[in-house]
């Protein structure tokens, strides 16, 4: 069995302190960390253009990065679905750009809570602006549109999940090639300023939709058959937000509801198991095997899991 847990590896500045709380808050996971053979690996978000979880999803689906594109380009066809027309699939996420005194940041897309009628109204306002630009648009979901770009425009971009919370000037391309997109986006932003949709969102305590984030660009491929895996995603949002109190609460619930039922008499899994723990800058695969025969009568040797938990891979 494979269990994948995005957000399971906290950021290094707080990892050591959180490790001290694991025996009490997540005793099953703590026991597994002590017993498992670990294979830690560094993860370079910038080199992939997507989060470690998105990267795993793409690898699992059999996507091979195309020349000149980051791995995250495969999120276009992966998230869009639909028929394969052989064309590159670009996505535009409906997002909120938070403007500070010296920088802009992208709000976590998971916090947008968009409604279908909101997206429809925003698209109705934006659609005329696409005419005679070489761009085309169609809605895929409340939070996401598909774009068709002018011939020859194929920028390298990163997913909104990868960019969220970081300085945008490190991700926002300002070259001549992307000038047509920046011009169109600026017109859309002006059209959405003081839009009734955003007035209603403000009344509900939600951030306004004030931008589109362009990403994707990969071409469809024949996806590999997905192997069986259990995805436990409750740690992902608090880890991205750096809300470590909420992370600990979610971890305790995950441990009690999902991991403990899989443990045998001595606390270890009753059958062979692999855990994949994912963080911002590293990932760790853990191999757990039952101790049979005479070994099962002896205490299991304890691994030094803090060596990879609290330090770079």
Q: What is the pLDDT of residue 168?
A: 83
Which alpha helices (DSSP H) does the chain contain, by range? Answer: 12-25, 27-35, 45-48, 52-60, 75-80, 116-126, 160-163, 179-192, 196-203, 236-241, 244-254, 306-309
DSSP secondary structure letter of residue 167: B
Q: Which residues of 266-275 are buried (b: 16+ CB within 10 A; e: fewer)?
A: ebbbeeebbb
Q: Mean pLDDT of all residues in the chain?
A: 91
Q: Which residue has the higher pLDDT, 280 or 296?
A: 280
**Confidence at residue 291, expressed as pLDDT on a 0 to 100 scale:** 63
pLDDT for 293 equals 52
Please give the pLDDT value at position 221: 92
Identify the helix (H) or strand (E) that includes residue 36: none
Which bin fits 265, alpha (ψ -120 to 50), beta or left (φ > 0)?
Answer: alpha
Regarding predicted confidence, which is higher, 148 or 156? 148
Residue 300: CA atoms inside 13 Å, Cβ hemisphere, count?
21
Query: Of 157, 149, 209, which is closest to residue 180 (Cα–Cα)?
Result: 149
CA distance linking residue 59 with residue 54, whole number of Å: 9
Asked if pLDDT for residue 294 goes beyond 70, the answer is no
pTM: 0.92
Residue percentage of the chain with pLDDT more than 90: 74
Q: Cβ-count burial of 27 within 10 angstroms (0-12 exposed, 13-18 middle, 19+ buried)?
A: middle
- Position 299 scores a pLDDT of 58
Buried b (16+ CB within 10 A) or exposed e, 67-105: eebbbbbbbbbbbbeeeeeeebbbbbbbbbbeeeeeeeb
On the question of pLDDT at 305 being above 70, the answer is yes
């Amino acid at each position: 069995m494979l269990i994948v847990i995005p957000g399971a590896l906290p950021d290094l500045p707080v990892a050591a302190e959180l490790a001290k709380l694991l025996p009490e808050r997540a005793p099953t996971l703590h026991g597994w960390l002590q017993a498992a053979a670990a294979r830690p690996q560094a993860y370079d978000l910038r080199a992939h253009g997507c989060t470690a979880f998105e990267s795993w999803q793409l690898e699992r689906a059999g996507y091979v990065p195309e020349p000149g594109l980051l791995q995250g380009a495969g999120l276009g066809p992966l998230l869009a679905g639909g028929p394969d027309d052989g064309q590159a699939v670009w996505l535009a996420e409906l997002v909120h750009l938070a403007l500070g005194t010296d920088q802009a940041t992208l709000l976590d897309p998971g916090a947008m809570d968009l409604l279908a009628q909101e997206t429809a109204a925003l698209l109705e306002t934006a659609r005329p602006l696409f005419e005679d630009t070489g761009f085309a648009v169609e809605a895929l979901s409340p939070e996401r549109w598909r774009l068709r770009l002018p011939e020859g425009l194929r920028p390298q971009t990163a997913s909104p999940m990868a960019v969220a919370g970081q300085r945008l000037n490190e991700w926002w391309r300002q070259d001549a090639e992307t000038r047509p997109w920046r011009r169109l986006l600026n017109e859309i932003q002006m059209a959405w300023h003081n839009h009734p949709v955003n007035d209603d969102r403000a009344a509900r305590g939600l951030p306004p939709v004030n931008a589109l984030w362009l990403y994707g660009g990969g071409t469809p491929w024949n996806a590999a058959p997905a192997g069986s895996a259990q995805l436990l995603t409750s740690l992902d949002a608090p880890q991205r937000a750096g809300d470590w109190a909420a992370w600990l609460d979610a971890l305790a619930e995950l441990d009690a509801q999902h991991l403990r039922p899989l443990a045998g008499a001595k606390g270890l899994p009753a059958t062979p198991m692999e855990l994949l723990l994912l963080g911002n800058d590293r990932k760790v695969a853990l191999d757990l095997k039952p101790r049979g025969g005479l070994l099962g009568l002896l205490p299991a040797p304890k691994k030094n899991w803090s060596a990879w938990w609290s330090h770079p891979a």
